[in-house]
Structure 1
């Protein structure tokens, strides 16, 4: 097989699924595939190398092939080439991720980042936040997190943990007993436990029955379900109002799986933002519902390689897949 000197690889490691993509800058061929993040009996190094092998297969690479750039993004905090605060990854916390990837791909053009920050980068580069200098990307997937665009760049904070809003306190606090408040040190992510794909799935099972999912909450006509969902939407609105005031953003894009309920989110959030924020931001649906971290990783790989900007035409706005898509079917 003839080696291509123009290949970029992106890896998005999620708590449930991992997506990989490769892009040949010479031909414009974009390939992608998906696999379960967890495999029976594999943790740590073997688990990581299973994902690396999937990326090589997606790009049709052999072990000797050199790349222009590779980026991998993860849930949690990436700090000094290590992953922290990522309990849902298969034993990857504390590993030298940069060293493992550099050795596996024969390249030092490796970038590591948080998945939601990569999602914010994708939306700022090609999606709903394009053209903004100050914006917010809200990802409501399995978990809850956000990424801020400040002066046109993704803001990471001192420890890379900026906008891990799942750990923010909810509005429903005992004002008399702060000692009863629970957070990171208690193993609790208060806002994520209240409003995220996982917490809404749990609420659906509790209120609607086994087998029900988060999406079913938004279509239920049962008064007690509607009331509890509204309470949680109000809590999310309070967070967005406070973030909008603190960061003075011009636009907020909502992505992640719960983005599929965007009309309901917009109905509950937009008016409150307009009424309560001195300089209210516009609320928009993210361009990439589930794929923003993957495409953000591709942009990070592009930057690592020092290549010109990738064309917007490689994306299909309906599915997030490339128009020249040649990947194997998703399992």
Structure 2
């Protein structure tokens, strides 16, 4: 009888534009990686099928001991709340569907930004910071607060969803459907829509950065973090971001925190999902 294959773990990070996957050993050492387009315009079920098919390719016939998942929005029993970037994601019972796809695996799900913040606190630029603030500048916009070594979830898991912030006093009292959300103006998606190309900050992006700075300064005053860590695809434009954000923080915040890029700016959510899989596998044995 041939020996049983070595156990493996699977991690997935569902984003608005791409889904990243990795297969790792039980200690979290990555063995094979793959990235596929989310193709959000094709809908939630197509995006999930594309990810599961890609996972099967990576797994090469093996069943994962545990599956860790990071996703845009807030995963729940019957859907994923606050995830407008993928059509139908809100109605997709992501956990149930993945449990059917990987019935022999332990399964853990988390919001992508919170998974990233948790990993950056454990192994990255937020290590030792209390409190620490993780800012995700990717397709969307959100933050996560880490205090006492724990990522603050909030009553409904929606802590840090600043993409829903009011943009001016004229927005007071207006429902979300009747106003422009902050994420629709300040995010990689917004920048790409305005430029008609991949999101990239340049010398003419002052207004974009200033609106981001306005909200970041107010949040920093409220939280008083030791450090702000920025992750997500827009960190590729760090030089354009840093100086203006740094100046805004120094000018207005009573105790300005340090401001640095994430140690893992582009894959912290995936690494956070992998950390969940490692923990799930350990607790199941």
With the length of structure 1 as denominator, give the TM-score of the two structures.
0.76
Distance 2:11 2:193 in 1: 32
1:87 to 2:84 alignment = yes
Partner residue in 1 for 2:211? 235
Could you tell me how far 1:243 is from its partner in structure 2? 1.2
1:120 to 2:117 alignment = yes
Is 2:233–2:266's contact at 8 Å kept on the other side of the alignment? yes
Select which of 158, 172, 176 maps to 1:184.
176
Partner residue in 2 for 1:59? 59
Q: Aligned in 2, Cα 1:112/1:86: closer, same or farther, shift over 3 Å?
A: same
Partner residue in 2 for 1:22? 23
Could you tell me how far 1:299 is from its partner in structure 2? 1.0
The size of the alignment, in residue pairs, is: 282
Residues 244-289 of structure 1, C-alpha deviations (whole Å, 9 max, x = no match) = 1222211111111111111221101113223322222110011223
Distance 1:197 1:81 in 2: 28
Distance 2:116 2:206 in 1: 27
Is 1:122–1:292's contact at 8 Å kept on the other side of the alignment? yes
Could you tell me how far 1:303 is from its partner in structure 2? 1.8
Q: Which structure 2 residues correspond to residues 164-175 of structure 1 after superposition, within 5 A?
A: 164-170=161-167, 172-174=168-170
Could you tell me how far 1:94 is from its partner in structure 2? 2.5
Q: Secondary structure at the match of 1:11?
A: strand
Q: Which structure 2 residues correspond to residues 5-20 of structure 1 after superposition, within 5 A?
A: 5-20=6-21
Is 2:75–2:111's contact at 8 Å kept on the other side of the alignment? yes
Distance 1:158 1:108 in 2: 28
1:275 to 2:251 alignment = yes
Could you tell me how far 1:33 is from its partner in structure 2? 0.3
Distance 1:103 1:140 in 2: 32
Q: Aligned in 2, Cα 1:82/1:178: closer, same or farther, shift over 3 Å?
A: closer
Partner residue in 2 for 1:262? 238
Partner residue in 2 for 1:77? 74
Q: Secondary structure at the match of 1:93?
A: helix
Q: Which structure 2 residues correspond to residues 202-213 of structure 1 after superposition, within 5 A?
A: 202-205=193-196, 212-213=197-198
Is 2:67–2:107's contact at 8 Å kept on the other side of the alignment? yes
Distance 2:143 2:192 in 1: 20
Larger radius of gyration, structure 1 or 2? Answer: 1
Partner residue in 2 for 1:289? 265
Select which of 154, 159, 182 maps to 1:157.
154
Distance 1:202 1:45 in 2: 25
Partner residue in 1 for 2:49? 49
Is 1:136–1:146's contact at 8 Å kept on the other side of the alignment? yes
Partner residue in 1 for 2:224? 248
Q: Secondary structure at the match of 1:137?
A: strand
1:201 to 2:177 alignment = no
Partner residue in 2 for 1:218? 202
With the length of structure 2 as denominator, give the TM-score of the two structures.
0.88
